Amino acid sequence: MTNDADWPAIEVDGLRKVYQQLVAVDDVSFVMQRGEAFGFLGPNGAGKSTIVKMITGLVRPTEGTVQVLGCPVSDLEMRRRVGYLPELPNFHRWLRTQEFLAFHGRLYGLRGHTLAKRCAEVLAQVGLTGREQQKLGTFSKGMLQRIGLAQALLNKPDLIILDEPVSGLDPVGQSDMRNILLRLKAQGTSIFLNSHQLADVEAICDRVAIIDKGHLLKIGPPQSLFDEPLTLEVRVDCANAELLRRLGAVSLAVQQDEHNPCRILVEVQHEQLAADIAEAVHASGARLYLLKPHGRTLEDLFLHTLGTSH
């Protein structure tokens, strides 16, 4: 029998959604593995939230299938194992914090001491301890995001789906959210993160998918998705012809700084080739002082991908 943990966290196949004449999502397929943090990126109107709603069962696809934790999205037992924070949470503003969490906890089947203990744990996790008797109607937008995350974590989910989780949070709140997600990831929770905060996605996610105009453009580990070479800065004590020859043999291009010959820029296809560059320096007899990649950020990748898709 196949172990439950062998099923992907999310499996999307041929997903398409049409609203009258508008094609919001067009033939999107991807697999998110268990224990993975998966970033879902795209500009406004790209189809991201529509896909999130289809994954959570809030919207039915026109075509294609979605499975979550190996089950169809309609499976109620599967839903007990998933936490969800929507982009714009709209909660019962007349409820107090403790009442709100107790209500959602009972929906997950929690009762009595177990429910009370779990409510206290998630409030501490999101930094809202002491707010148990405060009405949600008095919460700021950032506090509503925090209580929304708390309810999404009540059931200790195997998979948590977050749609713009730092919306409304100040820099401290954003940092807190990032740290919470990193701890969840370390504990083995699968995280599907739809966010415009590219720095957070880069810090948290193992792989990303970039979508635009309903089409999936790229998917994979961020550093593997760059089309252009990576530039490494090499500094040595003495640059000679043998060094340049060896560097040229393991790289795409070598450029020596005309003002500082001991500073050399080397182009490689992947950052893993940095080890080959270091070995070439040592084999030439030179002493390596610095080997540093010129930064390529997720923002660079995102903007480049969208630019080439238009």
Cα–Cα distance for residue pair 16/35, rounded to 1 Å:
26
**H or E element, residue 63:** strand 63-68
Domains (ranges, CATH) in the chain? 4-222 (3.40.50.300), 230-298 (3.30.70.100)
Per-residue pLDDT tens for 82-140?
999 887 778 888 999 999 999 999 988 889 999 999 999 999 988 899 999 999 999 98
Q: Which tens digit of pLDDT belongs to each residue from 165-181? A: 877 677 887 888 888 89
Which has the minimum average pLDDT: 86-100, 252-266, 268-282, 296-310? 296-310
Q: In what order do the strands lie in the sheet with 190-194?
A: 82-85, 159-163, 190-194, 37-41, 207-212, 215-220
Q: Which residues of 172-183 are buried (b: 16+ CB within 10 A; e: fewer)?
A: ebbebbbebbee
Count Cβ atoms below 10 Å from residue 127 Cβ, excluding itself: 17
pLDDT at 279: 93
Quote the percentage of the chain above a pLDDT of 70.
Answer: 95
**pLDDT by residue (tens digit) across 17-49?**
999 888 999 999 999 999 999 999 888 888 888
Does 273 or 11 have the greater pLDDT score? 11
DSSP state at residue 158? S
Confidence of residue 6 (pLDDT cuts 50, 70, 90): confident
Nearest to 193 by CA among 153, 166, 169, 220: 166
Q: Is the pLDDT of residue 80 over 70?
A: yes
Q: Which helix (H) or strand (E) holds 15?
A: strand 10-19
pLDDT digits (tens, 9 = 90+) for 194-247: 888 788 888 899 999 989 888 988 898 877 776 677 888 999 998 889 999 999
Q: 188-218 in b/e burial notation, b at 16+ Cβ within 10 A? A: ebbbbbbbebbebbbebbbbbbbbbbbbbbb
What's the pLDDT score for residue 4? 64
What integer best gives the mean pLDDT of the chain?
A: 87
pLDDT at 69 over 90: yes
Cβ(201)–Cβ(192) under 8 Å? no
Global pTM?
0.78
